[in-house]
Amino acid sequence: MEKLAVNVKCPYCKKSLMDEEVQIDSFPSVRVRIQLGKKTGALYLSSIYGSYNIISEVPIPPEEIVLFFCPECSASFSLKDLCDECKAPLAFFELKNGGTVQICTRRGCEYHSIDYTNMSQKISTLYSIYEVFADPSRRK
């Protein structure tokens, strides 16, 4: 199955959050600033949807909730919505081609969602990931 790599930007300043220099899972990472208590630093997230691999300048103990910020404009990525699984606040990023990605801010919680702004984009993404279903001749 193909991996779905997301390409995200800040929903406020519109600058890309993609970091070509720091690769996780063999793809550019998503770079954000985080705050945990009084400590701040860079956090690099895997851009592969469903991967929980990270590189963090600030150690994040399990179950801790961190605040997410844009590394360029310092806007908060926090939402008022809470995680369906653990009730921690959600953070969100804007997809480059429209839509949003939401993630839980609690370390260890695996809740995440992706929402596209138009149906044709949803269908195109699904076909590219599950192309064996779109083209039965590709079945092995």
In a domain, 70, yes or no: yes
In a domain, 3, yes or no: no
Mean pLDDT across the chain: 87
Per-residue pLDDT for the chain (140 aa), expressed as one digit of tens each? Answer: 467 899 999 999 999 999 999 999 999 999 999 999 999 999 999 999 889 999 999 999 999 999 999 999 999 999 999 999 999 999 999 999 888 999 999 999 999 998 877 555 555 555 554 454 445 544 44
In a domain, 111, yes or no: yes
In a domain, 2, yes or no: no
pLDDT tens digits, one per residue of 34-62: 999 999 999 999 999 889 999 999 999 99
In a domain, 27, yes or no: yes
What domain range is 36 assigned to? Answer: 8-138
pTM for this entry: 0.82
In a domain, 41, yes or no: yes
CA dihedral sign of residues 36, 111, 8, 22: positive
In a domain, 86, yes or no: yes
Domain count, the chain: 1
